[in-house]
């Protein structure tokens, strides 16, 4: 089968492309505009595959995307291309509206035009899989979990733009009959994550002896999902899921941001004997900073549906996943030093 992946040079997208090339016999077209967080070095280990093609393009370019559909003839579209950093959406929301809303609408129209011309057999094979976030649901109190029926209540320009794209995908299904599936995932972490996010930023800052910024008092809770578990779930959904359905994908690993940072420091204390700036523990670098405007307090996914219907659950608990992630970052410092060139790490968090 032919898989068209948008955003396949980003963090989650590249993990998905690596999974498809390593574990299946599918052909893959990776479309990515290579903005600051997109990096072809994420795909080095599969770049020699004759089943992988790459197109550097913006999903807002209707003519180019339409041409890609007609030439590659995808059976499956998995749409991950998005602006995804909450703080950047606060600083400049227009880019998020353009990519996440307008870009998704253009991709949907290209998919609809292509799909409408297929014969009945090919139409039945075609799926448009939209990959979204649990942030569309807003913030939880101390109790409760996000389910597929939770009312949308986005707080940031980023989550509002993703909520809008979710609604567009459902509208193309209900109005035009385009076969779609939507997934909403919790916070991903793992190798190759761009160092604007909490975990890689904290590890790299600690190693360099810089402060480790934590918003507010660090009490915000997130459900952490190891990226390789996520992409296995995505493949499970797109190959076995029901058209028109939404599936929530979570790791069942709720941690406060402060717990995450302290765990990182404990791992680094164990692994690095000679510490920077004559500190005794990396935890001395933790620094509390002003909280983000409109910061959601808690996210937590109820993944019962995907477990019950598709027999998927995450295999990495947080302790296992964070250990693997920290080890990878330590072993791949050159990735951050060299492959990111002069793109400076951001001092803001998830």
Q: Kindly indicate the confidence band of residue 338, based on its pLDDT and cuts at 50, 70 and 90.
A: low
pLDDT in tens, 126-147: 999 999 999 999 999 888 999 9
Token code pair at residue 22:
């390593």
Distance, CA of 280 to CA of 282 (rounded, Å): 7
Helix (H) or strand (E) holding 143: none
Mean pLDDT, residues 69-91: 94
Mean pLDDT, residues 2-28: 98
pLDDT of 343 higher than 80: no
Out of 134, 148, 228, 232, pick the active-site residue: 134
pLDDT in tens, 164-193: 999 999 999 999 999 999 999 999 999 999
**Catalytic residue list contains 296:** no
**Biggest distance spanned by C-alpha atoms of the chain:** 69
Q: Supply the mean pLDDT for the chain.
A: 94
Distance, CA of 116 to CA of 265 (rounded, Å): 54
pLDDT in tens, 17-38: 999 999 999 999 999 999 988 9
Please determine, looking at this structure, whether the domain spanning 2-194+225-253+300-316 carries the CATH number 3.40.50.720. Answer: yes
**Catalytic residue list contains 137:** no
Domains of the chain, by residue range, sit at: 2-194+225-253+300-316
pLDDT of 348 higher than 50: no
Out of 114, 137, 158, 189, pick the active-site residue: 158
pLDDT in tens, 257-308: 999 999 999 999 999 999 999 999 999 999 999 998 888 899 999 999 999 9
pLDDT of 245 higher than 80: yes
**Catalytic residue list contains 135:** yes
Distance, CA of 15 to CA of 145 (rounded, Å): 27
- CB-based contact 179:108 (threshold 8 Å): no
- CB-based contact 229:251 (threshold 8 Å): yes
Strand order of the β-sheet with 127-133 is 52-56, 27-32, 2-6, 76-79, 127-133, 180-185, 246-249
Distance, CA of 114 to CA of 279 (rounded, Å): 60
Out of 87, 135, 196, 296, pick the active-site residue: 135
Q: Kindly indicate the confidence band of residue 340, based on its pLDDT and cuts at 50, 70 and 90.
A: low
């Amino acid at each position: 089968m032919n898989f068209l992946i948008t955003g396949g040079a980003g963090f989650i997208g590249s993990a998905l492309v690596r999974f498809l090339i390593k574990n299946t016999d599918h052909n893959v077209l990776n479309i990515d505009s290579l903005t600051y967080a997109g990096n072809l070095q994420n795909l080095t280990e599969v770049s020699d595959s004759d089943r992988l093609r790459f197109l550097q393009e913006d999903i807002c370019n209707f003519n180019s995307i339409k041409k890609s559909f007609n030439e590659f003839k995808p059976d499956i579209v998995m749409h991950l291309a998005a602006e995804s950093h909450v703080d950047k959406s606060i600083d400049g929301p227009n880019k998020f509206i353009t990519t996440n809303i307008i870009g998704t609408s253009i991709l949907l129209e290209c998919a609809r035009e292509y799909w409408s011309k297929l014969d009945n057999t090919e139409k039945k094979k075609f799926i448009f899989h939209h990959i979204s976030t649990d942030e569309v649901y807003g913030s939880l109190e101390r109790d409760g979990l996000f389910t597929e029926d939770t009312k949308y209540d986005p707080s940031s320009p980023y989550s509002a733009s993703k909520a809008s794209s979710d609604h567009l995908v459902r509208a193309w299904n209900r109005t035009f009959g385009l076969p779609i599936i939507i997934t909403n995932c919790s916070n991903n972490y793992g190798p190759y994550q761009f160092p604007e996010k909490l975990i890689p930023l904290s590890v790299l800052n600690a190693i360099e002896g810089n402060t480790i910024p934590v918003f507010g008092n660090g009490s915000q809770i997130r459900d952490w999902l190891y990226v390789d578990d996520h992409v296995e779930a995505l493949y499970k959904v797109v190959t076995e899921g029901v058209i028109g359905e939404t599936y929530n994908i979570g790791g069942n690993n709720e941690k406060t941001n402060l717990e995450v940072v302290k765990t990182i420091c404990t791992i680094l204390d164990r692994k690095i004997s000679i510490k920077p700036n004559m500190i005794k523990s990396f935890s001395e670098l933790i620094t509390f900073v002003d909280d983000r405007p409109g910061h959601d307090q808690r996210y937590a996914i109820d993944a019962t549906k995907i477990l019950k219907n598709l027999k998927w659950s995450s295999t990495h608990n947080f302790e296992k996943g964070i250990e693997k992630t920290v080890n990878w970052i330590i072993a791949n410092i050159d990735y951050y030093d060299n492959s990111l060139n002069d793109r400076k790490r951001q001092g803001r968090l998830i």
